[in-house]
Amino acid sequence: MDVFVNQYAWIRSTREVLFRYCESMSQSDYVRELESFGGDSIRSLHVHVADCYRVWLGSRGLGQTLPKITAETAINVKEMREIFQKTDDVVHEFLNKFQGNWDKTIQVSFGEGDSTEISALWLFTHTVTHEFHHKGQIVKIGRQLGYTPPDTDLIGS
């Protein structure tokens, strides 16, 4: 049994609950930008989460060249699901590459001369905790728009 593959399956199951919640919203609410969230929408937060996985695990961890995704990339939840299906492929490739070698470090650059070594475990931990942070924001935005959220914690998975 690979612990991180199983952990990511749980993460995907909570994401599915969140996607179903988002499908209960009107299209205009899914893309509505709220000033109280710095102009973000639920859609833009979903894109940001997917892009985080792609940048940190795909580009930095696996050395892939992946195009940046933007909010305009996904008009609705159905298209967002498709983005996450491709994102899942990147995550699984990362998990397979580093299975049993989580202490392996990767040199990561942050622009003009700034770089550091980060472990594969740090990269995976960063991306999954980042998703859960934004999942909470998505639920909060939905609540502000008048939608009652389901339980999106792991306990229901």
Distance between CA atoms of residues 61 and 105, nearest Å:
9
Give the Cα separation of 141 and 157 in Å (integer): 22
Output the pLDDT for position 68: 86
CA 24 to chain centroid, in Å, comes to 20
pTM comes to 0.92
Q: What is the structure's pLDDT at 84?
A: 97
Query: 3-99+107-150, superfamily in CATH?
Result: dinb family like domain (1.20.120.450)
The answer, yes or no, to whether residue 28 has pLDDT greater than 70, is: yes
Whole-number pLDDT of residue 113: 79
Q: What are the residue boundaries of the structural domains of the chain, listed by start?
A: 3-99+107-150
Give the Cα separation of 21 and 85 in Å (integer).
Answer: 18
Residue 27's pLDDT is 94
The whole-number pLDDT of residue 111 equals 75
Token pair for 64? 């892939």
Contact between residue 118 and residue 56 where contact means Cβ atoms under 8 Å apart: no
Mark out the alpha helices in the chain (DSSP H runs).
Answer: 3-23, 27-31, 42-53, 62, 77-98, 120-144
Give the tens place of pLDDT for each residue, 97-151. Answer: 999 999 999 998 877 778 899 999 999 999 999 999 999 999 999 999 999 988 8
